[in-house]
């Protein structure tokens, strides 16, 4: 039965060209790793300035690797030459795989998927870099749920070695194998996660962050004491509130809402203080204020 179903779809060709939607921190990082690994990359965004900024970050990241003697100068040039940027989805007409890496907003992702379907080859695979949204639900909005999968990269992508690979209920085995092969070529370790809210990493990590915010709200400790306690007492490289600022407090809240709504369990209720910070626009490093104020030379706790 499975073999017959798979034969209804064109076979997946060898993946040599990868399209990436979104030139933010994640999309730019994925573009760098893909280009370094020999893939031709098409990086799309709605804003040329974001594309230019992403290319600058990729160049800076590659040059840091040269200084550390990880790669050579000629590899920097070769990697940059493999990245093409643009504002039009038509640039994805010849790719074998597209990775959607836009904001963690389901409505935005749905709109992107509809735009992709107008130009993609029938055999092309679609992957989403969502950190929490249902793969099955997103796949159902496309014409190829069998060719749809989750590829959740960790931030910062060039330094973090993990990819969570998440099958939707309709994802076929050849799609899964093709994406695992891409992950291997990128030099990443991949783990398979079931399609449940927030998958593995964020299912464990974000409730810890949320509990740290509750600890702050209840006055058990201030920002500095909470982060210091977890760094020295649990040997974490970064305190949970510092980590929340790095992730983005809006992203943290979005993931907690997915957990709270998807699992219907009060233990996942987002902390009211986290909601207040997001309402204030204090989203962490990207807005220069979160649990720390980053507008000076040294981050200063805001509580």
Integer distance in angstroms from the first to the last C-alpha of the chain?
A: 59
Q: Is 31 left (phi over 0), alpha (psi -120 to 50) or beta?
A: alpha
Containing 128, the helix (H) or strand (E) segment is: strand 125-128
- Residue 202 known to be catalytic: yes
DSSP 284: B
Which one of the listed residues 37, 132, 202, 254 is annotated catalytic? 202
Cα angle value 188/189/190 (rounded, 5°): 110
Select which of 131, 134, 210, 254 is catalytic. Answer: 131
Tell me the C-alpha distance between 179 and 157, whole Å.
16
152 is catalytic: yes
Structure tokens, 118: 């107008």
DSSP label at 37? T
Residue from 164, 190, 210, 254 carrying the catalytic annotation:
164
Q: At what angle do helices 73-81 and 48-67 cross, to 10 degrees?
A: 160
Q: Are 217 and 272 in contact (CB under 8 A)?
A: yes
CB 246 within 8 A of CB 224: no
Q: How far is CA 257 from CA 206, 279, 291, in A?
A: 11, 15, 20
Give catalytic residues, as residue numbers: 131, 152, 164, 202
């Amino acid at each position: 039965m499975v073999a017959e179903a798979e034969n209804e779809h064109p076979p997946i060709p060898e993946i040599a060209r990868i399209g990436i939607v979104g030139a933010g921190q994640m999309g730019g990082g994925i573009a760098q790793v893909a280009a370094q690994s020999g893939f031709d990359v098409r990086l799309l965004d709605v804003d040329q300035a974001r594309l230019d900024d992403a290319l600058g970050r990729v160049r800076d990241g590659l040059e840091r690797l040269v200084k550390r003697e990880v790669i050579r100068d000629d590899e920097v040039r070769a990697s940059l030459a493999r990245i093409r940027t643009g504002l039009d989805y038509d640039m994805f007409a010849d790719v074998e795989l597209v990775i959607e890496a836009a904001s963690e907003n389901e409505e935005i992702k749905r709109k992107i998927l509809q735009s992709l379907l107008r130009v993609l080859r029938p055999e092309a695979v679609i992957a989403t870099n969502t950190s929490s949204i249902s793969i099955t639900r997103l796949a159902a909005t496309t014409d190829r749920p069998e060719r749809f999968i989750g590829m959740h990269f960790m931030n910062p992508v060039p330094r973090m070695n993990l990819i969570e690979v998440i099958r939707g209920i309709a994802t076929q085995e050849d799609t899964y194998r093709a994406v695992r092969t891409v992950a291997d070529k990128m030099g990443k370790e991949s783990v398979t996660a079931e399609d449940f809210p927030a998958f593995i990493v964020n299912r464990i990590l974000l409730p810890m962050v949320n509990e740290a915010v509750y600890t702050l709200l209840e006055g058990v400790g201030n920002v500095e004491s909470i982060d210091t306690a977890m760094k020295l007492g649990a040997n974490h490289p970064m305190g949970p509130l510092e980590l929340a600022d790095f992730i983005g407090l809006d992203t943290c809240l979005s993931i907690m809402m997915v957990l709270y709504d998807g699992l219907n369990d009060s233990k996942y209720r987002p902390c009211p203080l986290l909601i207040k910070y997001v309402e204030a626009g204090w989203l962490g490093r990207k807005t220069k204020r979160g649990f720390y104020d980053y507008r000076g030379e040294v981050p200063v706790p805001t509580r």
